[in-house]
Chains A and B, each alone.
Chain A
Amino acid sequence: MLTVNHLTKSYDGEKMSLTDVSFSVRPGEVTVIIGPSGAGKTTILRSINQLIRDDDGEILFDDTDMRQLNRRQLRQARCRIGMIFQNYNLIEPLTAIENVLHGCLGTKSNLAGIFSMYRNREKEEALQLLQKVGLGEFAYQQCRNLSGGQKQRVGIARALMQRPKIILCDEPIASLDPKSTVTVMDILRDLAVNDGISVLINLHQVDIARKYADHVIGINNGQVVFDNRAKLLSDVAIANIYQKNVNTEGSLVHEF
Chain B
Amino acid sequence: MNSDVQQINRFFSKKRFRLTLIIVILGMAYVGASIGLGFQTHSLLNVQDGIAWLIQNFIPNEASKGYWNEILQQLFRTFLVAVAATTCAAIVSLFLAIVGAKTLTPAITVSWVIRAFSSLLRNIPIVAWAMILLFSFKQNDLTGFLALFFMTLGFLTRAFMETIEDFGTEKVQALQATGATYLQVIAQGLLPEIAVALMSWILYMIENNVRDATLVGLLTGTGIGFIFNLYFKSLRYGAAGLVVLSVIILVVSVELISNLIGRLLS
Contacts and interface: CB of A to CB of B under 8 A. Distances in A.
A83 to B, nearest CB: 4
A105 B193 contact: no
Interface of B: 170-171, 173-181, 183-184, 187-189, 192-193, 195-196
Contacts of A92: 193
Nearest to A87: B170
Nearest 3 CB-CB pairings of A with B:
A106-B179, A89-B174, A105-B180
A113 to B, nearest CB: 4
Contact of B195 (A49, A90, A93): A93
Given A49-B177, A78-B176, A91 B171 contact: yes
Contacts of B183: 110, 113-114
B177 A110 contact: no
Contacts of B188: 91, 102, 105, 113-114, 116
B interface SS class = helix
B179 A102 contact: no
Given A92-B193, A114-B188, 18 more contacts: A46-B173, A75-B181, A78-B176, A78-B178, A78-B179, A82-B177, A83-B177, A83-B178, A89-B171, A89-B174, A91-B171, A91-B193, A103-B178, A104-B178, A107-B179, A113-B181, A113-B187, A114-B183
Nearest to B181: A110
A110 B188 CA distance: 11
Contacts of A162: 178-179
A76 B181 CA distance: 11
A158 interface: yes
A79 B170 contact: no
Given A93-B196, A105-B188, A76 B179 contact: yes
Nearest to A101: B188
Contacts of B179: 75-76, 78-79, 105-107, 162
A94 interface: yes
B174 A85 contact: yes
Contacts of B175: 102, 105
A115 interface: yes
A218 B157 CA distance: 47
A91 to B, nearest CB: 5
A113 B176 CA distance: 13
Highest count of chain A CB atoms <10 Å: which of B174, B181, B187: B174
A59 interface: no
Interface residues of A, number: 32
Given A87-B170, A113-B184, A51 B178 contact: no
Contacts of A46: 173
A43 to B, nearest CB: 13
Contacts of A32: none
A81 B181 contact: no
Contacts of B170: 85, 87, 89
A83 B174 contact: yes
A154 to B, nearest CB: 12
Most buried by A among B171, B181, B189: B181
Contacts of A116: 188
A91 B177 contact: no
5 contacts: A75-B181, A83-B178, A89-B171, A91-B192, A93-B196
B77 to A, nearest CB: 36
Nearest to B175: A102
A101 to B, nearest CB: 9
Contacts of B181: 75, 105, 110, 113
Interface in A3-27: none
Contacts of A108: 184
A83 B176 CA distance: 10
Contact of A51 (B177, B189, B195): B177
Given A89-B171, A91-B193, A93-B195, A114 B176 contact: no
Nearest to B179: A106
B189 A91 contact: yes
